[in-house]
Structures are given as structure tokens and as C-alpha cells.
């Protein structure tokens, strides 16, 4: 019997050792942190809250939470903590090597759990949501922020749209990523049993100098060899897309970010 080899995020694509990965995730954080901090800041955070940041990346959100909850503390996880080490290390956070799809935390361990741009990459995302709920204390809060592809799918710019949709197709085929799943993030949390749901969508412009543009440019650059092998995508289209993303006059939307706050029921 042949064993199916299943690639995970970071095994090859988006490995943290890739030359531009620190800058790529740094650009993502620069784009999204202000919205994330406003969203987390809308919660009744207490100094003694125990917080969990899943798939921490460069660790900017974990460090922000640690400054607000010094008496409770922050645990931050990732499959690879290399980028955290390069971006200010400790900062009062307990950094833990942890695979969300396989590793556990004791039930009721946290008052607040946050994850950003993570669940879309997990094949077991719906069952993982249910497991994450058990890690919250009754009444604890979950904040998820996930990327949705529909603004790129709607772009009138042929090269940008086709290359971008190629990125989503390549990630889906290789890792199992689904950037349609976040369109109904509130529904997914509701079905998992979360209550007091509140969601919204933020749009980011890609294009010259903007962090979302740089993030997408480095994403397309990393995947260029895969994209150029795909039906309907030529090396010229990939090159044109990279030129557009560096152009200050290019103002097409990048991915949308769907954010939702939900609560584990008290009883």
C-alpha cells in the first residue's frame, strides 16, 4: 500500500528559513496589527488574563498581549519559533513549539485565544476549532482573523487576478489551504458552539509601498516556480504582477481579512 504524503504549511512552502519569510510575515504584521490591536482592545481585558496566541509567526500580537496581561501571562505557539527568536525573543511570553492540529492544552487553560491567518491553512480546521474551544475557560474569548480571496477574484486586472488565483490554487493543492472558508467565519464559530459572535471584514490595498502589497509580492515571488508551471499562467504574467505590486499607482485590493470575536458559553 502506498502511503500518501501530506505536505503541511512550512514543510516546503513558506518555510521560516526562506530568505524573505521574516520580511513577508513582518509586512503582514505591519498591515494587520493595527486592526488586530483595536479588535483585541475592544474586549474587557484584565491584567490577570491567561492568553494564548496560536501560530504566532513573528510574535507581534503575543508581545502586545503580554504587555496588557502581565499577571496572567501569554503562551505563544508555532511549528517553528525561528522568526520569534529573530524578532525580540522572550518579551515576557512563553514561546512553545506546538502543532495546533495534533498537540493539546489542558481544558479551561485560557481566558483569551487569538489566531490570525492560520485556520485557513489547516485541513482539520473545523475539528480544530472545537478543540480550541475546550482550551478556553467558560466565558473565555476567541478572536480569529482569516484571509479571504474574493477581492482578488473580483479584480479587473487580468495578470494580477490570474496570478493571485493561481497562488490560492497552489496552496490548496499543496497544503490544503482554503481562503473561501473564512467568508463564513461567524457561521463556523456558531456551529462549533461559540456565542456572542461579532464579525467584520477589513480590506487592504495592495500596490507600491503598502505592507499588504509587499506581503503579496513576496508571496508571489516565493511561489513563482510553481505558478509558472500552472495552466493559464505564463512567466510574463507573474513578472507583470510583481511590477504592478511595486507600482505606487496600483490600487487593487489585496486579500480581505475576516475577523470574528466569539465566546465559550459560560455553562
Tell whether residue 65 is a contact of ligand SAM (CB under 6 A): no
Per-residue DSSP letter, 89: S
Shorter beta-carbon distance to ligand SAM: residue 81 or 227: 81
**Window contacting ligand SAM (CB under 6 A); options: 25-33, 158-166, 192-200, 231-239:** 25-33
Q: Map the footprint of ligand SAM across residues 98-157, applying CB under 6 A.
A: 98-101, 116-118, 121-122
Q: CA-CA distances (angstroms) from residue 138 to 68, 72, 195, 262?
A: 21, 16, 11, 12
Give the residue, chosen from 63, 69, 78, 166, that forms a contact with ligand SAM under the rule CB under 6 A. Answer: 78
We find the least distance from the C-beta atom of residue 1 to ligand SAM, in angstroms, to be 26
Shorter beta-carbon distance to ligand SAM: residue 101 or 155: 101
Tell whether residue 20 is a contact of ligand SAM (CB under 6 A): no
Largest CA distance in the chain: 57
* Cβ burial, residue 17 (10 Å; 0-12/13-18/19+): exposed
Tell whether residue 215 is a contact of ligand SAM (CB under 6 A): no
Summary count for the chain: helices (H), strands (E): 9, 7
Q: Nearest-CA neighbor of 177 among 236, 107, 259, 117?
A: 117
Give the residue, chosen from 52, 68, 75, 77, that forms a contact with ligand SAM under the rule CB under 6 A. Answer: 77
Q: Residue 50 in 3-state DSSP?
A: coil
Binding site for ligand SAM (CB under 6 A): 9-10, 25, 28-29, 55, 57, 77-80, 98-101, 116-118, 121-122
Amino acid at each position: 500500500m502506498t502511503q500518501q504524503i501530506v505536505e503541511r504549511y512550512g514543510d516546503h512552502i513558506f518555510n521560516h528559513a526562506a530568505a524573505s519569510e521574516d520580511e513577508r510575515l513582518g509586512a503582514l504584521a505591519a498591515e494587520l496589527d493595527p486592526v488586530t490591536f483595536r479588535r483585541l482592545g475592544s474586549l474587557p481585558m484584565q491584567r490577570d488574563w491567561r492568553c494564548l496566541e496560536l501560530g504566532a509567526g513573528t510574535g507581534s500580537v503575543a508581545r502586545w498581549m503580554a504587555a496588557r496581561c502581565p499577571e496572567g501571562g501569554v503562551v505563544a505557539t508555532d511549528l517553528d519559533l525561528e522568526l520569534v527568536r529573530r524578532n525580540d525573543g522572550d518579551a515576557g511570553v512563553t514561546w512553545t513549539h506546538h502543532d495546533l492540529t495534533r498537540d493539546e492544552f489542558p481544558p479551561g487553560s485560557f481566558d483569551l485565544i487569538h489566531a490570525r491567518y492560520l485556520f485557513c491553512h489547516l485541513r482539520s480546521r473545523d475539528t480544530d476549532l472545537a478543540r480550541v474551544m475546550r482550551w478556553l475557560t467558560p466565558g473565555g474569548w476567541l478572536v480569529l482573523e482569516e484571509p479571504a480571496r474574493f477581492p482578488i477574484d473580483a479584480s479587473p486586472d487580468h495578470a494580477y487576478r490570474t496570478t493571485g488565483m493561481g497562488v490560492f490554487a497552489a496552496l490548496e493543492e499543496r497544503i490544503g489551504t482554503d481562503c473561501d472558508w473564512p467568508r463564513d467565519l461567524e457561521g463556523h464559530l456558531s456551529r462549533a458552539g461559540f456565542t456572542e459572535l461579532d464579525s467584520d471584514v477589513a480590506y487592504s490595498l495592495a500596490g507600491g509601498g503598502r505592507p499588504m502589497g509587499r506581503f503579496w509580492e513576496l508571496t508571489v515571488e516565493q511561489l513563482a516556480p510553481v505558478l509558472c508551471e500552472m495552466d493559464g499562467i505564463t512567466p510574463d504574467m507573474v513578472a507583470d504582477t510583481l511590477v504592478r505590486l511595486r507600482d505606487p499607482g496600483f490600487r487593487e485590493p489585496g486579500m480581505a481579512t475576516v475577523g470574528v470575536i466569539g465566546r465559550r458559553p459560560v455553562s
